[in-house]
Amino acid sequence: MIEYLKWDSDFLGFKTGLLQTNKDIQLKDELEKCRIEKYKLIYVFDEETILLPTSILQEYNGKLVDRKVLYEMQVPNALIANVEQTKPYYKQELTDDLLQLALVSGQYSRFKLDDNFSEEVFSKMYNLWIKNSINAKFADKVFVVEEAQQIVAMVTLKTKMDTLHIGLIATFPDFQGKGYGKQLINRTIQTALELGMNKIEVPTQFENKHACKFYEACGFKIKSKTNIYHFWL
């Protein structure tokens, strides 16, 4: 069944939908329906162990654009040390530092890597994401690290049920290797404890090897892997 995505359609300016594959779905038939219903872009989410046939990708202008890895951590009972350089960001001012960090966090995003999107679309999306994080629409808390009066690292957090979700997290390349990312994860764990959350989740891309190694070193385990395709009709 095709799910119409209102937010994506409004943001991109054309009809966008989602197909979740399963053993009963006939993908070719569903994509034909999407064409008839004037969809321009369809996201297809599939199991990581399954690759869609090349014939369907060619016929319907499809491409594997993301291999999403969802990491999960069970929140430990003990308080976490080493968060001294992190602090909450309470302002609703979108600084250039925060915007640039948001763009750094999305460097492996499917909206960055899919050539059918312009650089403007990617920038606009992450501009909106960080803007709506600091004004509490997309996030409940934002923490930053400053050095020489510059914000050099940040993380956005959202609570849902018993889980604290990491949205955006990034450190400027010139400031990596100083432990700021680890401090932001420690602050996330501490925040989860304070809020009574049981789990922390963070998504990344399989191709982002640095991020995968970082999360695993911090104690995260892989919860799921998903192949994401874009079909441009």
- The angle at the Cα of 233, spanning 112 to 205, to the nearest 5 degrees, equals 30
Domains of the chain in start order, with CATH, are 3-68 (no CATH), 72-224 (3.40.630.30)
What are the start-end ranges of the E strands in the chain?
Answer: 3-4, 16-20, 41-47, 62-74, 86-88, 141-147, 150-160, 163-171, 199-205, 221-232
Q: What is the pLDDT of residue 23?
A: 63
Q: What is the mean pLDDT of the chain?
A: 94
Confidence class for position 227, pLDDT limits 50, 70, 90:
very high
Task: Check if the beta carbon of residue 163 is closer than 8 Å to that of residue 220.
Answer: no
Q: Is the pLDDT of residue 164 over 70?
A: yes
Q: State pLDDT tens for residues 109-158.
A: 999 999 999 999 999 999 999 999 999 999 999 999 999 889 999 999 99
4 DSSP β-pair partners: 17
Q: What is the pLDDT of residue 51?
A: 85
Confidence class for position 56, pLDDT limits 50, 70, 90:
very high
Q: What is the pLDDT of residue 49?
A: 79
Q: State pLDDT tens for residues 62-119.
A: 999 999 999 999 998 876 778 889 999 999 889 999 999 999 999 999 999 999 999 9
Q: Is the pLDDT of residue 61 over 60?
A: yes
**Higher pLDDT, residue 225 or 23:** 225
Averaged pLDDT, 184-210: 96
Averaged pLDDT, 21-27: 73
Task: Check if the beta carbon of residue 169 is closer than 8 Å to that of residue 156.
Answer: yes
- Looking at the chain, the whole-number percentage of residues with pLDDT higher than 70 is 97
